[in-house]
Amino acid sequence: MDSILSGLMTRYESRVPQVHQIINAMKQASLILDRNDIINDHIAFRTMGVPNLGIQSLEKVFLAHGYQRRDAYRFDAKKLNAFWYSPPSPNLNWPRIFISELCVNELSKSAQSIIKSYTSSITTDPVDTLDLHHAPHVDQFLHSPLWRTPTWTDYATLLEESEYAAWVIYNRYYLNHFTISIHHLPPGYNTIPTFNQFIEQQGIRLNRSGGKMKVSLDGKLRQSATVADMVNASFSDGNQGYITQLISGSYVEFAERLDGRDGFDSQNADKIFESTYRSETDAS
């Protein structure tokens, strides 16, 4: 699992420039000596709820290494389900896992048709073919296309109905975000309000949906997130060529846990999903 997590983070960092910017700023401010000093609170994946994919498939990667499925979450407006997974031992310093899934059958018939035109070729669970204890195979799988490159027309059509669907149809299982544990940082930077201020001083925009700081109902989980980096994405033109468009990629989250608070909060998570939404990425 250490190797799988390392592979995920290496490719994620290469696709999300703000990760390097944040880590370098933390070093310069003497908050950390190197990136290994950062406690990764959790990582998150987005999936399609279709046969042979979705949560029931991807979770096998982590259950095989001792992770335990915990609470379920439902996001009605976004048509999503999710679970979080705890590592087998806190001594391992492995992050929590958060996996969400789009309820495809709740979308319009036209959106379902588009999604299934890509996923219907997957007739068996691809995770079942993996040796889940062979890290290079798992790493390759998590960074390999599950279906053909989408057309820009299909992506844009999905974007109008479900921005989550559009993100997944292009990005597949690429890591959606990792999360810096704020309460482990030195005083003066170890709360969400103070760390948010530090991040904005670096010229990095924060997700404003529901306020820059999202607070759980019990007040013990405080979170914030950057706005996703925009990336040049290559789409099929529907013929033999490709076109490039600018779309939202991945982002960085920050979490402060008080009094040993574990788990997640659906109200917070609902707003953090929007780090990749146009309401945030297009905001000035």
| Confidence grade of residue 27 (pLDDT, cut at 50, 70, 90) | very high
Residues 6 or more apart whose Cβ sits within 8 Å of residue 97: 42, 43, 44, 45, 62, 67, 84, 85
Reported as a single tens digit per residue, the pLDDT across 125-181 is 999 999 999 999 999 999 999 999 999 999 999 999 999 999 999 999 999 999 999
What residue ranges do the domains of the chain occupy? 2-281
pLDDT of amino acid 238: 78
Residue 186, both tokens: 């030195």
Overall fold of domain 2-281 = 2,3-Dihydroxybiphenyl 1,2-Dioxygenase; domain 1 (3.10.180)
Residue 92, both tokens: 């391992």
Reported as a single tens digit per residue, the pLDDT across 33-81 is 999 999 999 999 999 999 999 999 999 999 999 999 999 999 999 999 9
Give the residue from 168, 143, 177 showing the smallest Cα distance to 43. Answer: 177
Assess whether pLDDT exceeds 90 at residue 237. Answer: no
pLDDT of amino acid 203: 97
Amino acid identity at 180: I
What angle is formed at CA 1 by the lines to CA 27 and CA 33, rounded to 5 degrees? 10
Name 223's bridge partners. 214, 255
- Mean pLDDT, the chain, rounded, equals 96
> What's the pTM?
0.96
Assess whether pLDDT exceeds 60 at residue 118. Answer: yes
pLDDT of amino acid 241: 87
pLDDT of amino acid 111: 98
148 exposure class (CB count in 10 Å sphere: 0-12, 13-18, 19+): exposed
pLDDT of amino acid 284: 53
